[in-house]
Chain A
Amino acid sequence: MREPTPWDRVFDLVISATGDTVYMVGIATLLAALGGIPLGIVLHMTSPTGLSPRRITHRVLGAVVDVGRSLPFVVLLVVLSAFTRALVQTTIGPTAVIVPLTVGAVPFVARLVESALREVNVAVVEAAITTGASRLRLVRSVLLREAGPALVAAIGVTAVTLIGYSAMAGVIGGGGLGDLAIRHGYQRNDERILLASVLVLGGLAWLTQLTSDFIARTIDRRRSALRV
């Protein structure tokens, strides 16, 4: 039996790994939002009940998105390694993990955005149409604004999911809290590190959810988000 790792060393390791996780998840969430929101808008617009119904485009995009969503993240991690290398010149470390994280999250965000936009009351959109609003204005001032709280919630859910995914990056030496928990905690049987990294990971996810809920509530002008 080895000596347990001293707490101050555990602290240093966890702090550094937390930084990596926040970096990976933060950038990946941002990129996923940048890619997924426009994709979700297009999915909604082209749907049969959307503002510019295009059946074929909708079907094809929908299929691509669903296939993207159904691939397990661990598989994505491996499959994309060549693409990752071409993009960021490395396949290990936090920066390399951002690539599969983003690719995995874009279709996820797209579907969440599509369903958030679908929830916007048709009567409200039609009323805006009768005011002579252009399609761009309908998307920007009506759809996105009315669905604002739901969109914020979608991004929050995505970030929390990505925190979970990023833990899997430990498998390919991606760094971050998951990596720390698996390599130091599990494989070297270091209970202190395992405990600390799992606690921080959980706390991070919880804090992220809390923040997203708070923002969604703050921008929501409805009296209550709950409708009975």
Chain B
Amino acid sequence: MITVENLTKSFPGKGDHVLALDGVSLSVPAGTVCGVVGPSGAGKSTLARCVALLERPDRGSIRVEGVDLVALRGRELRDARRRIGVVPQGDSLLRQRTAAGNVALPLESAGMAAPARRARVAELLDLVGLTNKAGSYPDQLSGGQRQRVAVARALAASPSVLLADEPTSALDPETTGSVLAVLDRVRSELGVTVLVVTHDMAVVRRICDDVAVLEAGRVVEHGKVLDLLTQPGSRITASLLPEVDQAGSTPREVGQYDVVAEVVLVGFAAVGALLPEAAHRHDVELAILGGGLTRLGETPVARFKIGINGERSERALSWLAERDAVIRRAPRDIGGLAA
């Protein structure tokens, strides 16, 4: 469990100080994955560097299992650093050491004896699926493999918290999958709490339980991904869900329906059966005009634009709403005018 409280950090800039973090508070429950997203310049990197204990905040605290790490210095600080595993942004492996040598570094710092170290390194390389690459140097590995070695290194000293700073920024979608799969295993098999700073919504979709949106140094939204999804006015919903306005849903077509709305459905049952059932029960014609299906972790999630025709169209819509589908009315007038 990691708790960030009221973290504030400014940098000297031209004339004025630049406030990179403005009272950021964030709590990640043990064994969950929390994503920090936001536009560039929002303070994501600064937050990551503070949590990695590479940057000292002006104010605020960073607690791991209740212990504040911000004020530590010297040996205590070095020991504290091993309680937070860090997967830094970009290439961070020692290029003159093998994969195994890189993973061993935190263990050497911790003073572990060579035989125990070798065993632990083997275990970690197995966890990230790179046992056969132990003797390879970073330049002989692919980007995704290097990143998995970095994850293994971050986990070497058995930290309870893992921080990953843009772990997928330099990777193609396929390799991104392999790195995210490893991060997911870290949480599920080791019970490590993961904080992942990213601009890539695919990361949030794939592995995050919680998400915090950072804007201009402040947390403007924070909660469970699935909860935020159904919350009206949430800023990340749009970027997490499939687009609705696709070719085919022209205003002309929209105008043919009595009711046009956007629905968000969460979960297997809702996605699979709710729309046909609504049509059947209320004897209406229900058509999907746009949108699509995606997956948040294991949960299927859909956003559709639907058009309904029939006497009981409104009734069908409220029936959907009663079953936890999130309904947003489309601006009917515009469709009507165009038709």
**B-binding residues in A (CB < 8 A):** 121, 123-124, 126-134, 137, 141-142, 145-146, 148, 219-223
Contacts and interface: CB of A to CB of B under 8 A. Distances in A.
Nearest to B98: A221
Contacts of B106: 131-133
B88 A221 contact: no
Contacts of B52: 126, 130
Interface residues of B, number: 34
20 contacts: A123-B90, A124-B93, A124-B94, A126-B52, A127-B150, A127-B153, A128-B105, A129-B54, A130-B52, A130-B53, A130-B81, A130-B86, A132-B78, A132-B109, A133-B109, A137-B109, A146-B95, A146-B96, A220-B96, A222-B139
Interface string B76-97: 0011111010101111111111
Nearest to A219: B96
Contacts of B40: none
A197 to B, nearest CB: 40
Interface of B: 52-54, 78-82, 84, 86, 88-98, 105-106, 108-110, 137, 139-140, 150, 153-154, 156-157
Given A121-B91, A223-B139, A126 B54 contact: yes
Nearest to A135: B78
Given A123-B89, A222-B137, A222-B139, A134 B109 contact: yes
A145 B92 contact: no
Given A126-B92, A131-B109, 16 more contacts: A121-B91, A123-B88, A123-B90, A124-B94, A127-B88, A128-B105, A129-B81, A130-B88, A131-B153, A133-B108, A134-B109, A142-B94, A219-B96, A221-B95, A221-B97, A222-B139
A132 to B, nearest CB: 4
A220 B150 CA distance: 21
Contacts of B153: 127, 131
Contacts of B80: 132
Contacts of B150: 127
Contacts of A130: 52-54, 81, 84, 86, 88, 154
A132 B157 contact: yes
A81 to B, nearest CB: 43
A151 to B, nearest CB: 11
B210 to A, nearest CB: 23
